[in-house]
Every structure is written in structure tokens, then in C-alpha cells.
Amino acid sequence: MNSAEQTQIQPTTPSFAMLRTLAGIAMLSGLLVVMVFQFTRPIIEENKRIAIEKAVSRVIPGVVSKKDYLLGPDGLFPAVAGEGNPGEKIYAGYDADGKLKGIALEAAATGYQDVIRILYGYNQDCQCVTGIKVLKMAETPGLGDKIAFDPEFLRNFEALDARLNADKTGLENAIVTVKHGSKREQWEIDSISGATISSKAIGRMINDSGQRMFPLIIKHLDRLRSGQ
Ligand SMILES: Cc1cc2nc3c(=O)[nH]c(=O)nc-3n(C[C@H](O)[C@H](O)[C@H](O)COP(=O)(O)O)c2cc1C
């Protein structure tokens, strides 16, 4: 058989059929992704809500109920699902008598490996931080991940000084993480030995968040106390 004959009997590529099959597979895959997303979204949201609720009761001692707000330079707004975002989400925690026990806030900063996200508590009466709960991190097991459970490190946040300055525009003293064993002041965080980078990320995120948010909390304290 010469080469001209060979070319003639080669089967033609069914390009239209191939394209149709590929397009069908792509559409089906897309549909499946959307369906899985739609199905899992409420489950993920519910798990997130439960995790936040647990974290709030951990960082605000004595809290039995909470109300979600959005707080920013534009004011304080009740957080309504699906509405715009005029501020940062905060959680006001109340005791059984409806008395404001504290505010929980989210904060984040880059640690040794990746972004660390925490929820922390702020008490408006002592103007101090009352606890932290790590929500997300990828710090090294046995080193940086101690920020989540090391009892000595967590003691830093039982009454960490976060008083406002005289004109209530920021903190009187910046919250700062110091080298292990050198904490002298109530606004200093004693870092974990061998994990100074992760410890510093915690101090940095609380200071940045506090400088921005504590003046706004104090400004809107009456409304937060009334739960309106
Ligand atoms: C493999 C490896 C992983 C590390 N992971 C962390 C970590 O997750 N967080 C952290 O702060 N330091 C981590 N370090 C240590 C830092 O490089 C740094 O030495 C330490 O934070 C300094 O703490 P120190 O001043 O108490 O010695 C890690 C080091 C190595 C070699």
C-alpha cells in the first residue's frame, strides 16, 4: 500500500463528537461543583456559628447569650445576614440578667507559616483583654501551635491591660509581645520560648485590632449595654 492510499483509509477524527462529549463532561462537573457547594454551604455556616458561639463563651467569662453587631467608623449596626458590611463583626456577650459581660472580636496576622486567626475577649469595665481562642492556624506542631493551648501563654490574656488614652482615640500603651521571661508591664505578652514569631503575631493582631476597635466600643457602650 502506498502512502497516498494509507492517508485515505485513516479514520477521520470525530472532532465534533469529541467536543460534544467534553462539553457535556465539563457541564456536568460544573453542575456537580455547584450542587455540592449549595448543599454544604448551610452545614459549613452552621458549624462556623457553633464554633464562634463556643469561642465567645471561652473568651468572655460568664456569658450566656450573645448579640452580633457590625462596628466601624460609620457606627454600630445589628449584624443582619445578607446585608452590606459597614464594619467589623463583633459579638456582645450578656449574662443571665442581660448585663453586658464583654465583647468578642476577631483578629488576624501572619505567623510563622501562614495567617493566624483568633477570637479574643475585651471587657469594657476593666478595659482589658480577657481571653483568646485560636480559630485557624498552620503553625508548627510542638512550637508555634502552643499559642492555642500553652497555659502559661494563655495566662497573658486573663487581664491584659488595654486602657484607652486620655482622649479615647487609641490605647494608652501599645500591646506588645516581649521575649520569654522579660514581661514587666500589664500590657506586655510574655512569648513562648522557641516560638517568639507566633507569639508576636498574637500581640500584633490584638494591638492592631484594639487600637482600631476599643475606642469605637467605648463610644457605643450605652447601646451595647442595652443590647439595642
Ligand atoms: C522547622 C522549624 C519550624 C518552626 N516553627 C515555628 C513556629 O511555628 N513558630 C515560631 O514562632 N517559631 C518557629 N520556629 C522557630 C523560629 O525560627 C525562631 O527561632 C523562634 O520563633 C525564635 O524564638 P526564641 O526567640 O524564643 O528562640 C521554627 C523553626 C524551625 C527550624
Tens of pLDDT, residues 151-190: 999 999 999 999 999 999 999 999 999 999 999 999 999 9
* CA 98 to each of CA 101, 102, 208: distance values in angstroms, whole numbers, following the listed order: 9, 12, 30
Q: What is the rounded CA–CA span in Å between residue 23 and residue 111?
A: 43
Q: How far apart are CA 155 and CA 146, in angstroms?
A: 13
The pLDDT score that the predictor gives to residue 76 is 95
pLDDT at residue 228 in the model: 83
- Cβ–ligand 1 distance for 180 under 6 Å, the answer yes
Does 153 sit in the ligand 1 pocket, CB within 6 Å?
Answer: no
Residue 5 reports pLDDT greater than 60: no
pLDDT the model gives residue 80: 84
pLDDT of residue 10: 65
pLDDT at 6: 55
What percentage of residues in the chain have a pLDDT greater than 90?
A: 87
Lowest-pLDDT choice from 5-14, 41-50, 97-106:
5-14
Q: From the CB of 193, is ligand 1 less than 6 Å away?
A: yes
Among 140, 146, 152, CA closest to 189: 152
State residue 16's pLDDT score.
Answer: 86
Q: Does pLDDT of 1 surpass 90?
A: no
Tens of pLDDT, residues 29-84: 999 999 999 999 999 989 988 999 999 999 999 999 999 999 999 999 999 876 66
How far apart are the CA of 3 and the centre of ligand 1, in A?
Answer: 69
Residue 109 has pLDDT above 90, yes or no: yes
* pLDDT of res. 223: 97
Q: What is the 3-state secondary structure (H, E, C) of the chain?
A: CCHHHHHHHCCCCCHHHHHHHHHHHHHHHHHHHHHHHHHHHHHHHHHHHHHHHHHHHHHCCCCCEEEEEEEECCEEEECCCCCCCCCEEEEEEECCCCCEEEEEEEEEEECCCCEEEEEEEEECCCCEEEEEEEEECCCCCCCHHHHHCCHHHHHCCCCEECCECCCCCCECCCCEEECCCCCCCCCEEECCCCCHHHHHHHHHHHHHHHHHHHHHHHHCHHHHHHCC
Task: Out of 113, 189, 197, give the residue to mutate to test ligand 1, the one with the largest number of ligand atoms within 8 Å of its CB.
Answer: 197
Q: Where are the domains of the chain?
A: 42-226
Mean pLDDT for 209-217 is 98
The pLDDT value recorded for residue 15 is: 86
Higher pLDDT, 9 or 123: 123
Mean pLDDT of the region 103-117: 98
Ligand 1 within 6 A of CB of 174: no
